[in-house]
Amino acid sequence: MVYYSDEKITVRDMCDSDPKAFAEGERAQGWDADEQKLRRRLEERAEGKAVCLTADWCGEPAGYVSVYPNYEHGAFAGRLPMIVDFAVLEKFRRKGVGGKLMDAAERIAGEYADEVGLGVGLNPSYGSAQRMYCKRGYIPDGSGVWYKNRVCGEYEDCCNDDDSVLYFSKKLRH
């Protein structure tokens, strides 16, 4: 299914060839690529648990995101649809790819609830996403830092790695 299309950007359902293309693109820019993570997303889509999207830039896979109507982890477990695992390859950033992906993800989430949640990493590699979410109207949920899928208690040690997350939500309809 195609969710958006213009002369440069197409947002569509993720297909079987996308995980490999994204893993290659992520490795080329020095990221820790995990093709199997995206393969698991496709399996969860086949089980009816997720909608997995790819954004193409001029026909080349440029970014991805998944929407889980009933996500089982994190601050909004079982309460809100979640936008999960948003990424845009660096060479396609600042071209509108991320915005169109998020527009489609929010429309899909809006089919299930009036509000949507997401989690974002705290280390500097997530800085672009943190800024974009705030500009799009996401606000922190107030539960504080989560580490390894649980709230990190006050004065408790945690590592500023990919498991350190702050949860945000956005009202889709008022």
Output the six-digit token pair for 3: 């969710």
Closest CA to 140 of 105, 170, 103: 170
For the entire predicted model, the pTM comes to 0.93
pLDDT over 70 for what percent of the chain? 100
Q: Containing domain of residue 28, as a range?
A: 2-171
C-alpha count within 13 angstroms, C-beta hemisphere, residue 95 = 18
List, for residues 14-65, the tens digit of each pLDDT value: 999 999 999 999 999 988 888 999 999 999 999 999 999 999 999 999 999 9
Q: Which residues, other chains included, contact 165 with Cβ-Cβ below 8 Å and sequence gap of 6+?
A: 74, 119, 120, 121, 122, 145, 146, 147
The number of distinct structural domains making up the chain is 1
CATH number for the domain that contains residue 159: 3.40.630.30
List, for residues 112-137, the tens digit of each pLDDT value: 999 999 999 999 989 989 999 999 99
Q: Which residues, other chains included, contact 162 with Cβ-Cβ below 8 Å and sequence gap of 6+?
A: 121, 123
